[in-house]
């Protein structure tokens, strides 16, 4: 049975969904019909955990963890096509590095890096807009070690997921550098045609075929009022038992609640320089390591007002 030739390994909230969609349009590339199989996050034929933080049980149900099911994702690939998938937690998961190397040692890996503060904000905003996160970003970062100890899923690791220096250092101990393509999120957004050609050359397919990255959907930011807090409480309660019901039934119950939560939603104001400075402390040492590992400068990430995408740090009553 077929296995992928390349993997988009990260980082979460760094444009991997848009990149996956763009590569699907290339006639010589076959992307798995499931965008995030997460196969290599589990030991062989071992199911993921059944519980964790809010909503985690439902997320774990989406894992394609059986090898036969994973291989079936690539069964429809045309002969001679370059096969790929996109599971953005592979970069963070050191065990995934080893599992990939063992099963597909020839694999090429693509990592997209985003300013870790902007990435953490986007990650937080995703969960907050879904009614799952109830704390502000700074408080959530402080609670991260406790959440990790409690077995919450990787997506709750706002800090850990943005420490790319450590991740790439460990990845290069398993895979040779020539099999890893490191890209920047900002380049992907500002110079998509150039970046897509870089990817095409890396994968050995024709350049000049795809030139655009689809626009990413940004979830609206819910208001901070009593009604929104009540809806969030209902959504969190549903997240604790949602895994007991079929996905279709979960969506039927969840969709109108999210619609009501977002009805008065507004834009996301940016982080202040002071807020960004606090968050930078989590990443400063790792940015230096990233520069050492890659030989590139990431100085712009150290700037207190570096945010360029309209980030938000909401203060939500606990």
Same domain, 173 and 232: no
Same domain, 196 and 237: no
State the DSSP H helix or E strand holding residue 113, giving kind and residue range, or none if neither: strand 108-113
Same domain, 94 and 242: no
Pick the more confident residue, 301 or 226.
301
Kindly give the pairing relationship between strand 82-86 and strand 6-10: parallel
Structural domain count, the chain: 2
Is there a domain that residue 33 lies in?
Answer: yes
pLDDT of residue 217: 62
Is there a domain that residue 41 lies in?
Answer: yes
Is there a domain that residue 37 lies in?
Answer: yes
Q: Which of 7, 27, 5 is nearest to 207 (CA)?
A: 27
The token duo for 192 is 């998509």
Asked if 92 and 154 count as a contact pair (C-beta separation under 8 A), the reply is yes
Residue with tokens 């988009």: 8
Cβ neighbours for 76, distance < 8 A, ≥ 6 positions apart: 30, 33
Q: Which of 154, 206, 293 is nearest to 23 (CA)?
A: 206
Give the pLDDT band (50/70/90) at residue 56. confident
Size of the chain, expressed as the number of residues it contains:
318
Q: What is the pLDDT of residues 136-155, one digit of tens each?
A: 999 999 999 999 999 999 99
CA distance 231 to 237: 10
Asked if pLDDT for residue 157 goes beyond 80, the answer is: yes
Is there a domain that residue 136 lies in?
Answer: no
Same domain, 185 and 97: yes
Asked if pLDDT for residue 227 goes beyond 50, the answer is: yes
Is there a domain that residue 58 lies in?
Answer: yes
The residue-averaged pLDDT of 1-6 equals 92
Same domain, 62 and 107: yes
What's the CATH number where 52 sits?
A: 3.40.50.300
Structural domain boundaries enclosing 244: 226-262
Asked if pLDDT for residue 104 goes beyond 80, the answer is: yes
Is there a domain that residue 271 lies in?
Answer: no
Same domain, 49 and 99: yes
Same domain, 193 and 254: no
Same domain, 109 and 164: yes
Same domain, 197 and 51: yes
Q: Which of 218, 234, 262 is the last residue of a domain?
A: 262
Q: What is the pLDDT of residues 168-214, one digit of tens each?
A: 999 999 999 999 999 999 999 999 999 999 999 999 999 999 999 98
- Averaged pLDDT of the chain: 87
Same domain, 165 and 234: no
What is the pTM for the complete model shown? Answer: 0.84
Is there a domain that residue 123 lies in?
Answer: no
The token duo for 42 is 């589990």
Same domain, 185 and 244: no
CA distance 171 to 97: 6
Is there a domain that residue 167 lies in?
Answer: yes
Asked if 271 and 145 count as a contact pair (C-beta separation under 8 A), the reply is no
Same domain, 20 and 167: yes
């Amino acid at each position: 049975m077929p296995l992928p030739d390349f993997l988009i390994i990260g980082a979460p909230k760094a444009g991997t969904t848009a990149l996956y969609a763009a590569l699907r349009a290339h006639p010589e590339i076959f992307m798995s019909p499931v965008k995030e199989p997460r196969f290599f996050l589990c030991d062989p034929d071992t199911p993921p955990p059944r519980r964790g933080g809010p909503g985690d049980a439902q997320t774990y149900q989406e894992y394609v963890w059986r090898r036969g099911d994973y291989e079936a994702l690539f069964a429809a690939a045309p002969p001679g096509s370059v096969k790929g998938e996109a599971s953005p937690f592979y970069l963070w998961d050191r065990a995934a590095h080893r599992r990939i190397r063992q099963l597909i040692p020839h694999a090429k890996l693509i990592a997209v890096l985003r300013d870790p503060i902007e990435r953490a904000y986007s990650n937080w905003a995703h969960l907050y807009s879904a009614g799952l996160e109830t704390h502000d970003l700074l408080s959530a970062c402080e609670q991260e070690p406790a959440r990790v100890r409690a077995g919450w899923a990787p997506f709750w690791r706002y800090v850990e997921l943005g420490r790319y220096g450590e991740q790439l250092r460990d990845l290069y101990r398993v895979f040779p550098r020539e099999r890893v393509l490191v890209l920047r999120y900002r380049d992907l957004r500002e110079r998509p045609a150039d970046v897509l050609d870089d990817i095409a050359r890396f994968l050995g397919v024709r350049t000049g075929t795809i030139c655009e990255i689809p626009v990413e959907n940004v979830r609206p930011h819910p208001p901070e009022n009593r009604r929104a807090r009540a809806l969030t409480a209902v959504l969190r309660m549903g997240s604790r038992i949602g895994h007991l019901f079929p996905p279709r039934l979960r969506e039927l119950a969840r969709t109108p609640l999210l619609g009501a939560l977002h009805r008065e939603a507004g834009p996301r104001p940016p982080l202040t320089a002071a807020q960004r400075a606090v968050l930078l402390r989590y990443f400063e040492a790792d940015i230096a390591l990233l520069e050492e590992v890659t030989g590139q400068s990431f100085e712009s990430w150290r700037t207190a007002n570096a945010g360029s995408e309209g980030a938000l740090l909401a203060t939500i009553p606990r």
